[in-house]
Amino acid sequence: MEMQNPQGMPGGYRLSMGQKVSNALFFFGYLKPVLWIAILVVLINLISASSLIPIMDFGRILTDYFGKRESVVWAFISLFAPPQHAIYIYAILAALLIVLSGVVTLISNYYGSYVREFMLRNLRFDVYKSIEHLNMQSVNRRGAGDYVQGIHRDVYAVDQLFSELFNRTLPQAIFAGVAFAVLLNINWVMTLALFAAGFVLFPVFTICNSKLNRLSGYLRYAFTEMSDQLIETIGGFRDIVAGGRFDRFAGRFDDTLKRSQGSAVSIAWWGQFGGVTTTSLMSLFSAVPIIVVVPQLLRAYAAGQPATVSSLIGATISYVLFLQQFLHIYSIIYNFIQQAALTAPSFLSLRMMLTPEPRKSAQLHAVKAGSAAAPLSPVLAIKFDGVSMRFNGRGVFDGLEFSIPGGKLSAIVGQSGSGKTTIFNLLLRLLDPTGGRILINDRLLEEVDEKQLKKLMGLIPQDPFIFNSSLRENLLMASPEGVDDRLLNRAVDLAQLREFVESREDGLDFVAGHMGRNLSAGEKQRLALARLIVQDPEIIICDEYTANIDVKTAGLIHEVMRTEFSGRTRIIITHQLYTIKGADHIVVLDKGTIVQAGAHEELFAQPGVYRDLWELQKLT
């Protein structure tokens, strides 16, 4: 009944017991701020379970009523009513206890839900905060849409586990514990024997847990693949339909559905196997007290001992009722272990996101004690010293060596795939090099405080992200609060956005829309330019900023770079050479290697990649 590892799917999530316990303790650490409420929930459930003892123990109580009437219950009732009315008082008391148990259960569920939602809120917030330190490599490998889908699935899985714990497992486990205490009081020998026999279930739990753990990993991968395919199909549906290839994509999606179906069926089967095994053993255990007491009843009846027969029947009724409540502990444990096994991949994924590998530190190159760190302003030079970078086992570049002069307009050029955008991400510390060093004024980039680095650097990417907020908020995205309106207006004028702003009734309060859908490509790029002017950074990095815009907008940005930011360190990363003809320094990158460096006239005058690129672009 076990599905084989589907082609392309990773192996199961094989974690040691220590790793599983470590993951569980990590997430239960979110319980600390509300630990007192969690303790209160336990106490409330204990009260609720204890209040039902007089009701469930009615077999012995009735026997006692018609016998000696010496139990605690009848001693309590006799304080309020004569013996002939005691049974009615007991019925009223039982009804009140049922109502009390219901009220207490509602209170417990409320506080249990509060604790669960508190933990989940803090977990979601920490996941959100971890986005600030995401590695661009991990995001690009999966895509933003799938990354978000995966986070939602993982948090939902953890939610399901916490819900199982606080709304079902914890209350029923406490009830089972109270029942166990009563069972020991009635017949401690039989109770301990049944309790020991119950451990035969744990090998079954272990096997099912292992299968479910692995299969849930397969299913999670299948869901990720389905999400990828849906996002790809919706994003590229025009090309798919126009090319008449929709059936091919549908067939590929159906293959993924079949793999997920196989995993889901196997998960259901193993879950039922454990459940049926547990239920069968519980039924068998429930029959044990009856099997044991029958010979004793026959002997007492044959000996003419009606009081003993009555006592045995009453005790057996109470014992069976409490035993059934206690035996639920096995199904509770199994269901919780099953849910934990299904959640294990999500636990692992979220923990990796919340506790990422430490970023490359400067420990090996730390500034000596007592020496002053090199100042970052003004920028004198940015140096790549033997920098290497690898993605998925593939080397982008190895031992990259070049310098960018401070206060100049520099360009890094090369064909697509040569590693230009990787340099862009390295400079912004969205990636860390796998080898070598990047220095600003002979100071290691990783030594620079991240907040200081963000203020130091500004960017205009190929496709600037415009947020679903006002133009004003988008302009202030990389700037401190309280920027003077005169500076905003100056940025709007320099970026030639004045006509667009004045054509909107809300002006700067006009909402750009989701991903800037209310703006054209040129307007988005001019908004990014205005954002840069407001930020006023020391280092400006432009990555393929002319790729999706018209020549006029590209010329505008280039002119602002030449005039407004004169004297700043400007780095243009591009493969469109007409935009960098006036650059002070040009670095030519080819297949991850620096092949040429110098000014335009110098590079164009000699044979090489730079002149070949110019000749090629003249032809096209």
pLDDT digits (tens, 9 = 90+) for 317-362: 778 888 888 877 777 777 787 777 777 778 888 887 787 665 554 4
pLDDT of residue 367: 41
More confident residue, 391 or 193: 193
Domain membership of residue 317 (yes or no) is yes
- Looking at the fold, whether 332 and 287 belong to one and the same domain comes out as yes
Domain that residue 542 falls in: 381-619
Helix (H) or strand (E) holding 410: strand 409-413
Would you tell me how many other CB atoms lie within 10 Å of the CB of residue 191?
A: 22
What is the pLDDT, as a whole number, of residue 313?
Answer: 78
Please report, rounded to a whole number, the percentage of residues in the chain having pLDDT higher than 90.
Answer: 0
Q: Quote the Cα angle for 128-118-23, to 5°.
A: 65
Instruction: State how many domains the chain has.
Output: 2
Q: Are 418 and 305 part of one and the same domain? A: no
Instruction: Give 46-61 pLDDT, tens digit per residue.
Output: 888 777 777 676 666 6
Residue 82 lies in a domain: yes
Alpha carbon separation from 124 to 38, 83, 117, 166 (Å, rounded): 20, 60, 10, 19
Distance in angstroms (rounded) separating the CA atoms of residues 201 and 85: 47
Same domain? For 333 and 389 the reply is: no
The answer to whether the Cα torsion of 462, 467, 468, 471 is positive or negative is negative
Same domain, 315 and 220: yes
**Residue % of the chain over a pLDDT of 70:** 82
Report whether pLDDT(547) > 70: no
- For residue range 59-105, what is the model confidence (pLDDT) as tens digits? 666 666 555 555 556 666 666 666 666 667 777 777 787 788 788 88
CA angle 392, 261, 169 (to 5 degrees): 95
Q: How confident is the model at residue 136 (pLDDT cuts 50, 70, 90)?
A: low
CA distances from 64 to 237, 298, 311 (A): 78, 21, 8
Contacts of 53 (CB under 8 A, 6+ apart): 178, 182
**Domain contains 361:** no
Split at pLDDT 50, 70, 90, the class of 3 is very low
Q: What is the mean pLDDT of residues 299-311?
A: 77
Stretch 533-561: mean pLDDT, rounded? 77
- What pLDDT does residue 369 have? 39
Q: CA 540 to CA 115: how far, in whole Å? A: 47
Strands 539-543 and 569-574: parallel
- Residues 474 and 601 reside in one and the same domain: yes
Q: Of the residues 352, 371, 392, which one is the last residue of a structural domain?
A: 352
**CATH number of the CATH domain containing 270:** 1.20.1560.10
**Rounded CA separation 329/176 (Å):** 6
In a domain, 240, yes or no: yes
Q: What is the SS3 assignment for 397?
A: strand
Q: What sign for the dihedral angle of Cα 83, 84, 90, 92?
A: negative
405 has a pLDDT exceeding 60: yes
- 3-class DSSP state of 109: helix
Least confident window among 78-82, 120-124, 128-132, 271-275: 78-82
pLDDT of residue 1: 37
Tell me whether residue 155 is in a domain: yes
Confidence of residue 521 (pLDDT cuts 50, 70, 90): confident
Q: What pLDDT digit, counting tens, does each position of 230-261 carry? A: 777 777 776 777 667 778 778 888 888 888 88
Residues 386, 326, single domain; the answer is no
* Separation of alpha carbons 267 and 566, rounded Å: 64
What token pair was written down for 264? 């889901």
pLDDT value of residue 362: 42
pLDDT at 186 over 70: yes
CA dist., res. 319 & res. 419, Å (int): 75
Residue 183 predicted with pLDDT over 70: yes
Q: State which H helix or E strand residue 17 sits in.
A: helix 17-28
More confident residue, 73 or 36: 36
Does position 206 have pLDDT exceeding 60, yes or no? yes
Band the pLDDT of 8: cuts 50, 70, 90.
very low
pTM over 0.85: no
Do 342 and 469 lie in one domain? The reply is no
Closest CA to 212 of 164, 167, 265: 265
Tell me, yes or no, whether 400 and 262 share the same domain: no
CB 501 within 8 A of CB 420: no
Could you tell me the pLDDT band of residue 364, with boundaries at 50, 70 and 90?
very low
* Domain-located, residue 339: yes
- pLDDT the model gives residue 481: 62
Q: What is the DSSP string of 416-444?
A: TTSSHHHHHHHHTTSS--SEEEEEETTEE
CA separation for the pair 150, 232 (Å, rounded)? 16
Q: What is the pLDDT of residue 71?
A: 55
Amino acid present at 437? R
161 and 266 assigned to the same domain = yes
Neighbours of 402 (CB within 10 A): 18
Domain final residue pick, 301, 335, 352: 352
Q: Which residues of 356-380 are buried (b: 16+ CB within 10 A; e: fewer)?
A: eeeebeeeeeeeeeeeeeeebeebb
Q: Is 344 in the same domain as 388? A: no
- Whether 344 and 403 map to the same domain: the answer is no
Residue owning tokens 């040569």:
418
Q: Assess if residue 2 is contained within a domain.
A: no
Q: Are 617 and 576 in contact (CB under 8 A)?
A: yes
CATH number for the domain harbouring residue 430? 3.40.50.300
Does 582 fall in a domain? yes
Handedness of CA 251, 256, 262, 264 (dihedral sign): negative
- The whole-number average pLDDT for the span 560-586 is 81
130 plus 38 within the same structural domain: yes
